[in-house]
Every structure is written in C-alpha cells, then in structure tokens.
Structure 1
Amino acid sequence: MKIHLLIPLVLLLSCNYGNEEKKLTQLEEEIKMLINETEGDFALAFRSLDGDENELFLNEKESFHAASTMKTPVMIALLEQEAAGKFSLQDSVMIRNSFKSILDGSLYKMDLGVDSQEALYQRIGEKASLYELMYEMIVRSSNLATNILIEKVGAANVTQLMRELGAEDIQILRGVEDLKAYDAGLSNTTTALDMMLVMEAIARRKVVGSQNMMQILSDQHFNDLIPKYLPKEVKIAHKTGAITGVQHDAAILELPEGKKYVLVILSKNLRDEEAGKECIASVSQLIYNYVKDL
C-alpha cells in the first residue's frame, strides 16, 4: 500500500518540477525578447536565496566595465580590514582631490562637474570619518570618497578579497577618473556572475559587517533601474553603476512574504541609455513577477 501511495507523490513532485522549469524557460524567453529590442549588450545573473536553486544566467561571464558597482567590493574590503584591526571606520581622514595614476604615478584631480556627490568638494581640506566616506561612496556614489578609500584599502587587496569569495574574474585596479590608466586600457571590470556572488555573500552574511552593508545598500539614492517598477514594500539593497553607454545594477531583494533573491543586470554599448535603463527596469519586473508566483 505504501508503494502505491508513493507513486502519485513522485508524479506530483515531477510535475511540479516540470512546471517550474517551464516557467523559468518562459521567463528567459521573455527577457531575451526585451533585450533583443534594445540596442546594446546585456548580461544577467539571477539566483533565488530560498533554497530552491532557481537561477537564470545570460552572458554571465562576459566582461564589462565595472563602473560604480566596484564600490561594493571596496566597502567589503573596508569592513574586513577594520575587523582585522588595521583602522576604525570612525577614524578621520583628510578630504582631498589629488590622486596618483596607477599608470605612471603622476597626480590627477577629479572633475568637479562629474562627481555625483559634489557636496564633498566643498569640504576639501576638512576631515571626515571613513564611515561617512564609505556611506557617501555607496549611497550617492561619490567618486571623490571612492578614490580616498581605495587608496586606503589597496586595489589589489580588494581584488584578492573577491577571489576569496569565489569571484574569479572581477578586477579592481584603480580609483575613478584615472584617465591615463583608462586610455591605456586599465579599467575595473566585472562579470554579472561575479557581481552576483559578491551580493550573495552579503545577503548570506558570509562577509564581515554584512548587516551594516545591507542597511547602507538599502539607502541607495539612485533607484531608476532594478527597483523602478517594483512595489514599494519590496526591500532592495543595491548598487548602481553608469558611464557613457553603460548602465548596471546589482541588488539583493526581499519580498514581503520573505522570498529573497539576488539580481545583477549589466549593460554596455548602449546607443540609447534611457532605452537601456527602461530595459533593465522591465527585466527586473519580469523576474519579480516570476519569484512572486513561485
């Protein structure tokens, strides 16, 4: 009798698995349709954090200019080094606008009209805590704060830390607006897969200070990509990145009922950046609807 009861149970589980696989395939087709309608190159990495191993990857190992998404690895390195006793995030440092190019050591300054957090420029010559700079680096994507902090932790140390997290291809080489290095082809790069692994490590509390980082990422000022079409009750901790022709977003999301997932969408070679941003927001909405209905 037990054997007879087991047969329909196995059939039911098999049917459910088949339905979920079909839904994921349909999701992938819908995402590809959106991407194909937008001129540019995209990569995506999605993984559920609920133990059901639902995931979807598109061009996940293709290399992209990291833009400001590299600021999350810098934040991880800051908290790791603080935990190792190298400094306290309450320590004060001088706000300055003079940095060394990684190409030849020559000095360069940030363009005052480019940085997204121009308020810091009004405080050059004053002091700020490492924590304040870290917060501005993430929430307002301050390039000035980033350059001060990346010199503090060391770009090579950030990359090595990413290797320890299993991110094999991400490269953190330098700060922002090092034009000599950029012209020589020396730029920070990432893949969607690696950035997903970075965000997943934070979400799963595998790195020092994960809870603090989640709160900072949740205060993100720029919300017109992954969060754009999602309900306000969805908790989103994320970091965007943008340069000419490039729009990125890397996020940890939690639905009101507790479902969690990580989503990273990268783009490059965008002819119409607004269309690229709209594509990213729409893809995010598709994935949200998929997770909600699981």
Structure 2
Amino acid sequence: MLSVVVAPWAGEAEPVFVRAPDVLHDAASTMKVAVLAALVRSGVNLDAEVPVVNRFESVVGGEFGNDPDWDSDPLPWELLGTHVPLSLLAERMITHSSNLATNLCLARTDPRAVAEVWRSAGATRSSSPRGIEDYAARDAGVHNRVSARDLVRLLRSIGDVPELLELLERNEFRVDLAAGLPSNTRIAFKNGWFPGVRHCVGLVHPADCPPYLIAVCYTGPLANGADHTDPAARLLARISAAVWERRDAISSLTAARRPGAPSARAR
C-alpha cells in the first residue's frame, strides 16, 4: 500500500495531491516527531540529566526493553549506566532515530501527552499510544499507527516551534524524500522503517518557490528494513523527485481552488 499527500506549507491550505491519504500504516519511527513535540510542550527541563537505562513500563503492565540490534544509533547504548542531558536524547531520537533514546524521552512525558499532540494537530486517525518495542502492548492490540494526511498535519502543527524544525533538518538519514531532492535543498523531515514498512514526512524549502509538505507511507514487500539501501527508500526518492519537478505548481494549485480565482496551470 502506497499513500501520498502533498500540500503547501503556508496557512491551512488543503493538499493539492492525495493518494490513499487516510489509510493507516504502522508508524515506525515517524511517531518520534509526536514524542518530540510532547516533550517540548510539557515544559520539562531539557538540560536536566537523566539516567540512561533500558527498562521501561509497558502500557499494559510489566516492563520491556529495547534490542540494540534493532536500533540505528549506537551512542545511547554506549551511555548505558550514565546520566546525560535529556536534550541529547531528544536530539539522537530525531537525528539518528534512536529507539532507546525515544523510550527514554517518552518516559519523561507520557502517552497522554503524545495523544494530545496528535489531537491538537488535527489528526483524525493516527496515534502512538505505546513505546517502541513494547511487544506486550502490541500483542494486546495497542498499535502505533499513522496516515500520510495526519503526518502532514503533525509537521504543520510544530511550525510555531522553529527549533523543532531545525532539529528535523539535522536528520542524518538523508535517504527516501531527501534523496529525491537536489543536494543543497533544505528539508525538515523524519523517516521510519523496518522490514515491510518505509515512511517519510518532510517540509521542503525550495529556493525558487514557497515551501511545501510531503508525506509518503509505503507498506509492502519492497521495504527490506535496511537503513540506507532499502529499495522502498528509492521508491520514495522517485516520488519526491517527481513532486520537486512540479514544485512551482503546488501553491498556485491551491490558489486556483479559491472561489473566483483564475485556474492554475501546472507545468
């Protein structure tokens, strides 16, 4: 299943292109954007030092831990048993997609705060009620799910916090959407992947036209789960490149939909 949403960044503009926008996919690491927003909006002291542990409370009771073999970032694992600033964990959660850092950040907020982030963003279907690798919760039917439309809404909702977008611009995994853009193009984005799933949502800043939002979610056999060489990542890159080629039409298509506006012509 492939879902795509493209929308102007300005205002509350509706998408100009959708394909299966409300189909739910496993969230993978895209839910880390909601965790980041919940952490920042909670007012917690990001400079406070917190213990780096690998035991977390499951939302269905009991405890669980992360598997280092399923994590894309070795640094938090090297810090086990120490104390580090919460800001470092928040950064690694986004820039290196650390699962361990994500659950440590989630432990400093809670699933209700994350749910409020989705609600305030206007999401209608997406939610992330459990931590990463909380398999007991998953087996009990508690799932992290996203739709492409809700991912666009989520990214738009943090536009009033520039430092969050700046952190997303430092994402180290410049594959999928970023790989479909010219190398010097600014993009604030978060991707997520594991075998069978590849997603990405981003805010693209072309130098020659207004910025735009794009979310692509793919669930299927093409996704092999590799960090950088996933064939599904190349699919997302091709979609991103195709949207880039029509970037100057995105805002004009929105203007054309307003009553009395002249029709826009896409190149």
- TM-score, shorter chain, exceeding 0.5: yes
What are the residue-to-residue correspondences of 1:183-194 with 2, within 5 Å? 183-194=139-150
* Residue 179 of structure 1: aligned partner: 135
- 2-structure distance, mates of 1:155, 1:217: 21
Q: Which amino acid aligns with 1:122?
A: E
**Cα distance change, pair 116–275 in 1 and its aligned pair in 2 (3 A):** closer
Aligned residues: 244
- Report % sequence identity: 25
More helix by share: 1
Letter paired with 1:44: V
Gaps in structure 2 of 5+ consecutive residues: 225-229, 250-265
SS in 1 for 2:244: helix
Corresponding residue for residue 28 of structure 2:
67
* Mapped partners of 1:271, 1:109: distance in 2: 29
Alignment match, 1:17: none
Given that residues 233 and 255 in structure 1 are in contact (C-alpha distance below 8 angstroms), is that contact kept between their aligned partners in structure 2? no
1:96 deviation in Å? 0.4
Segments of structure 1 that go 5 or more residues without pairing to the other structure are: 1-40
Deviations 1:109-133 (A, max 9, x none): 2112211112211111111111111
Q: Which residue identity does 2:20 align to in structure 1?
A: N
Q: 2:17 — aligned with what?
A: 56
- Give the alignment partner of residue 92 of structure 2, picking from 111, 118, 136: 136
**1:45 correspondence with 2:13:** no
Q: Does structure 2 conserve the Cα–Cα contact (< 8 Å) formed by 1:233 and 1:256?
A: no
Deviation at 1:97, TM superposition (A): 0.5
Contact 2:180 2:239 in 1 (8 A): no
What's the counterpart of residue 78 of structure 1?
39
Pairwise mapping of residues 191-230 of structure 1 onto structure 2 (< 5 A)?
191-203=147-159, 205=160, 210-230=161-181
Partner SS, residue 152 of structure 1: coil
**1:235-279 deviation line (CA, Å, top 9, x unaligned):** 101000012200000100000124200000001122454332221
Report the 3-state secondary structure (helix = DSSP H, G, I; strand = E; otherwise coil) of the residue aligned with 2:190: strand
SS at match of 1:199: helix
Give the distance between the partners of 2:18 and 2:108, measured in 1 at CA: 34
Cα RMSD of the aligned pairs, angstroms, is: 1.7
Q: Name the SS of the counterpart of 2:93 in structure 1.
A: helix
Q: Say whether the 8 Å CA contact 2:9–2:203 is kept in structure 1.
A: no
Which residue type is aligned with residue 65 of structure 1? Answer: D
SS of the residue corresponding to residue 42 of structure 2 reads: helix
| Mapping for residues 1-294 of structure 1, pairs under 5 Å | 41-50=1-10, 55-82=16-43, 87-103=44-60, 105-203=61-159, 205=160, 210-273=161-224, 274-292=230-248
**Structure 1, 220-229 or 50-59: larger mean CA deviation:** 50-59
Q: In 1, Cα distance between the equivalents of 2:79 and 2:144?
A: 27
Output the TM-score relative to the length of structure 2. Answer: 0.86
Partners in 2 of 1:100 and 1:258 — Cα distance?
Answer: 46
Distance 1:58 1:140 in 2: 29
Q: Secondary structure at the match of 1:241?
A: strand
1:156-210 Cα distance to aligned partner (Å, 9 max, x none)? 221122112211211111111112222233221111111100111223x2xxxx2
In terms of Rg, which structure is larger? Answer: 1
